[in-house]
Structure 1
Amino acid sequence: MIRTGDEYRESIRDGREIWIDGEKVDDVTTHPMFKPVVDARAKIYDMAHDQAHKDVMTYQDDQGETQAIANKLPKTQQDWWDKRKSAEEVQKAVRGVVTRVGDETIGEMWSLFDGQDILNEVDPRFSDNIRRHINRTITADTFHISANTDPKGDRSKPPQEQDPDMLLHVVKETDNGIVVRGAKYETAAAYANQAFTKPTIANWGNDTLSDYAVGFVVDLSSPGLKFISRNGFAGKAPAEDYPLSNRVDEVESLVVFDNVEIPWEDVLFYQHTKAAAFIRQTLHRYSALPFVQRTLHMADLMIGSALWNVKQTGLENNPAVQEKLAQLASYREGINAHLSAAILNAHESPGGLLMPNQSLLMTGRVFALNNLPQMMHVARELCGGQICITPDKATFDNPEAGQWLDKFYSINENWVADDRRKLLAFARDLLNSDYAGHRLTFQLFAQSPPYAQAAAVYRNFDWEGPLDLVKDAAELSDKVNGGR
């Protein structure tokens, strides 16, 4: 069934313990720092019912039921094109970039779906669990997120030599399941339904079995969970001056697992370090595509903000300005080319899904994120210094000061002061605000740090091709094969 926005809101009014800004939250759906992003996620649910969007957002399954395209198992190239179109529709509808809404994190479950043979080595029940959970996510339309990052503690020491809770671990087994302690940083946890929880650093030791090598789906209404959230940007300044901060700020939380019981049917792997290592290496084989697509949308927002600014001031025909715009366009199309090529060169995965070409996808991610800071600065240059010095709307509205701002911010009869102010406020929030800085740093957290992204490229690139090419061109003997 496809849920409505109100059904989603009701599903997270479950008495969970949330703290933000030094206070305990009574209702996450109405709290001023959470409400805008909860409303954005609710809007995505409602789009599935809206005549203007439902054909892009949904599909009919084999039983004739309407389901969300975002959760559909990808088995054809068309499935991926449909997912890209659906994700783009969402970004346009919320008028900003929202990263953690489910379509990018359900892919992590598909990676484990590909590893069912490994799960069967541990316990065939775990393979059954992953298939059941993927099916439930499709049919119940849950808001599914990812739980990866632990507080970590002293990373020069194994967890057994410090406070063991620094990495999430199993403290005991019960008839019903396992009991876990520790904590995870999670985007959207305070307002999502469930999270795929797993380790991201492999310092559980060299043993075949480890209580730290555990993965499961946690119901985020479970007893014992505490959500300690960072201070949000929404409501700190007027929406007229900071439209993105007040519309699409996604709040992260430190989710504390205080002896939380996970039922056996929700455990996806346990103790087996081989399974944990597999998921660490393959975690983003699907989720990287929708995540990098977010950066593509960010590029479009930067291009639009910069181009409108130079059009306002009559500089779009200046060759130096065109060169900067071409840099942004090349960046944008470079991302688009990697995403499209990854789909066009996709191949069947071990689990029978259609997996994007991993070398093209992972190099696309490196290209998109490594160049993002530079491209943001190019966009700043094109927008000009006014994005950091323009007064707020309240001053524009002041009868005395406003008359001067109206004079100096009006360019011609087509570009009046209020439109100029709106554009500069949007560009400032996109490129220069606390929110903009947070979003840039967030890239180091959301899809692993640069060294891990480079490692993914290294694992997936075809090194044999260049080796064979040079071996033939240099007329090397067959003896060199022994050195590979």
Structure 2
Amino acid sequence: MIRTGEEYRQSIRDDREVWIDGERVKDVTAHPSFKPIVDVRARIYDLAHEPATAGVMSYVDPGTNEPNAIGLKLPESQQDWWDKRKAVDTVLNDIGGVVIRVGDETVGEMWSLYDGQDVLNEVDPQFARHIEAHIKKALHGDPFHVSANTDPKGDRSKRPQDQDPDMLLHLVKETDAGIVVRGAKYETAAAYANQAFVKPTIANWGDAELSDYALGFICDMGAPGIRHICRTGFAGRRPATDYPLANRFDEVDTLVIFDDVLIPWENVLFYRHTRAATFIRGTLHRYSAFPFVQRIEKIADMLIGAALFNVRQTGLDKQQAVQEKLAQLACYRETINAHLTASIALAEKSPAGLLMPNQSLLYTGRVQACSKLPEMIHIARELCGGQICVTPDSATFDAPGIAHWLAKYYSVNEDWVAEDRRRLLAFARDLINSDYAGHRLTFELFAQSPPFAHLAAVYRNFDFSGPLDFVRKAAGLSEKVMGKKKPH
């Protein structure tokens, strides 16, 4: 059944080995670097129980007659996608910010493997049964599920066998109980998640010698041999009054060490199977790209809101040059909205009979959302003005002896008094100018894969036959020029 926030907190108090700032964390639910984002994830669980939001966040499973989370539901209709979209918006509006790694955007990667059951059956039919079992477990057990993709990689000019083999996660040995694996993965939110879908990074999986690296499995994030080594967090560095986003929504990234970890056979989805590795890398984001891009749409809303408030308070919104920049932000936002909406309206049946967003529209929307984001942030920075980088902190605004000067010079009119203006400038600074803002931008650019892989996904999924046939007819070419193979 759907868990409560407190049940989630209790589930990660499992004595897992988590390190941050050189110290081992006793309780990730209470540590200042983790508590804010753990509380956000707990809030998402609780929204499914509150009368005002339960109908948006959950549905009743016809097989069990129990409520399950909308985000984990297998998508079988357009309405399922509208419901998922509404649920994500409900969460982001409730918490007042954007969080990405909270589970609904990663469970779709298992659906992609579910679509590849014929590939799994090439190795052993039990692996297809395993993925189906884990999808049901996610539906009914409601774990916080993340995705582990990126390895440290080492020297990329060399094969992993020609350097320290642990640079890519690999098989150590098979046992009666399961497989033993060693290596490491980078994964956001792993230190406070329940489980991860671990799969290969981008590589040339056609090389049979890499087969020990072609692994896919579900791993308990508190399992023996797992160590979480986290980057320094942003929460708690400075007061929340000055950095309202960094203190609430920092999703801590982790280097997950697999130190000879036993993966039980029932958790193994494929291993030593390069075709399965190739399949999952090629289809990994056919579902998960949707909630990921939807969150960038909400970031666009934040950019528009921060910029528009800043120009309105001083009357600059009357200037045509300012309106044009606001229109650029609006066009960016609506381009994302259009791709998301159209990908549902023109959704496609998957090989396993699920309904996946129109792949060409979804992937082109992701390219637009990610590639244009730095430019849109800079437009918002221009509109917010130079005061976001020169305004004193909240303690200075409250200091006796100087507070009246700041009240004088930061008050614009009766509608915009100094404290509101300070809050807006602090929000804008944390959104587009702070250390946290720089981190978030890098994350958005690489979170699902690097830009070249985004374009590769578009190339694989765009239907080139239409433009080719149009030009063939317009130019009077013979049908032979079309060939028998698709260009991709």
Q: Same fold (TM over 0.5)?
A: yes
In structure 2, distance between residues paired with 1:361 and 1:436: 25
**Structure 1 residues 123 and 315: CA distance shift in structure 2, 3 A:** same
| Aligned counterpart, 2:306 | 305
Amino acid at match of 1:40: V
| Aligned counterpart, 1:16 | 16
Amino acid at match of 1:16: R
| Aligned counterpart, 2:278 | 277
Asked if 2 retains the 8 angstrom alpha-carbon contact of 1:94 and 1:248, the reply is: no
CA drift at 1:210: 1.1
C-alpha RMSD over aligned residues: 1.1
In structure 2, distance between residues paired with 1:282 and 1:400: 62
CA drift at 1:206: 1.8
Asked if 2 retains the 8 angstrom alpha-carbon contact of 1:159 and 1:203, the reply is: no
**Structure 1 residues 320 and 119: CA distance shift in structure 2, 3 A:** same
Partner deviation per Cα, 1:175-220 (whole Å, 9 max, x = no partner): 0100000000000000000000000122456218711101000011
Q: What pairs with 1:68-83 in structure 2 (closer than 5 Å)? A: 68-83=69-84
In structure 1, distance between residues paired with 2:68 and 2:78: 18
1:102 aligns with 2:103: yes
In structure 2, distance between residues paired with 1:328 and 1:90: 23
User: What is the identity percentage for the equivalent residue pairs of Structure 1 and Structure 2?
Assistant: 69
Using structure 2 for the length normalisation, give the TM-score.
Answer: 0.98
| Aligned counterpart, 1:5 | 5
| Aligned counterpart, 1:427 | 428
| Aligned counterpart, 1:469 | 470
| Aligned counterpart, 1:65 | 66
Partner deviation per Cα, 1:373-420 (whole Å, 9 max, x = no partner): 000011111111111111000000001121100000011111110000
In structure 2, distance between residues paired with 1:407 and 1:451: 51
Q: Which moved more, 1:155-164 or 1:200-209?
A: 200-209
- What secondary structure is seen at the aligned counterpart in 2 of 1:8? helix
CA drift at 1:479: 3.5
Asked if 1 retains the 8 angstrom alpha-carbon contact of 2:348 and 2:358, the reply is: yes
Asked if 2 retains the 8 angstrom alpha-carbon contact of 1:208 and 1:273, the reply is: no
CA drift at 1:444: 3.2
CA drift at 1:347: 1.2
| Aligned counterpart, 2:56 | 56
Amino acid at match of 1:22: G
Partner deviation per Cα, 1:71-119 (whole Å, 9 max, x = no partner): 0000000000000000011111121110000000000000000000110
| Aligned counterpart, 1:289 | 290
Task: List alignment gaps of at least 5 residues for structure 2.
Answer: none
Aligned pair count? 484
1:338 aligns with 2:339: yes
In structure 2, distance between residues paired with 1:169 and 1:92: 41
Asked if 2 retains the 8 angstrom alpha-carbon contact of 1:159 and 1:204, the reply is: no
**Structure 1 residues 133 and 387: CA distance shift in structure 2, 3 A:** same
1:145 aligns with 2:138: no
Amino acid at match of 2:362: L
In structure 2, distance between residues paired with 1:214 and 1:453: 23
Asked if 2 retains the 8 angstrom alpha-carbon contact of 1:37 and 1:248, the reply is: yes
In structure 2, distance between residues paired with 1:17 and 1:467: 56
Asked if 2 retains the 8 angstrom alpha-carbon contact of 1:158 and 1:203, the reply is: no
Amino acid at match of 2:58: T
In structure 1, distance between residues paired with 2:206 and 2:317: 59
Q: What pairs with 1:442-461 in structure 2 (closer than 5 Å)? A: 442-461=443-462
Amino acid at match of 2:131: I
Asked if 2 retains the 8 angstrom alpha-carbon contact of 1:310 and 1:316, the reply is: yes
Using structure 1 for the length normalisation, give the TM-score.
Answer: 0.99
- What secondary structure is seen at the aligned counterpart in 1 of 2:219? strand
- What secondary structure is seen at the aligned counterpart in 2 of 1:374? helix
In structure 1, distance between residues paired with 2:420 and 2:483: 68
CA drift at 1:121: 0.8
- What secondary structure is seen at the aligned counterpart in 1 of 2:150? coil
In structure 2, distance between residues paired with 1:126 and 1:397: 62
| Aligned counterpart, 1:38 | 38
**Structure 1 residues 113 and 204: CA distance shift in structure 2, 3 A:** closer
- What secondary structure is seen at the aligned counterpart in 1 of 2:276? helix
In structure 2, distance between residues paired with 1:444 and 1:308: 27
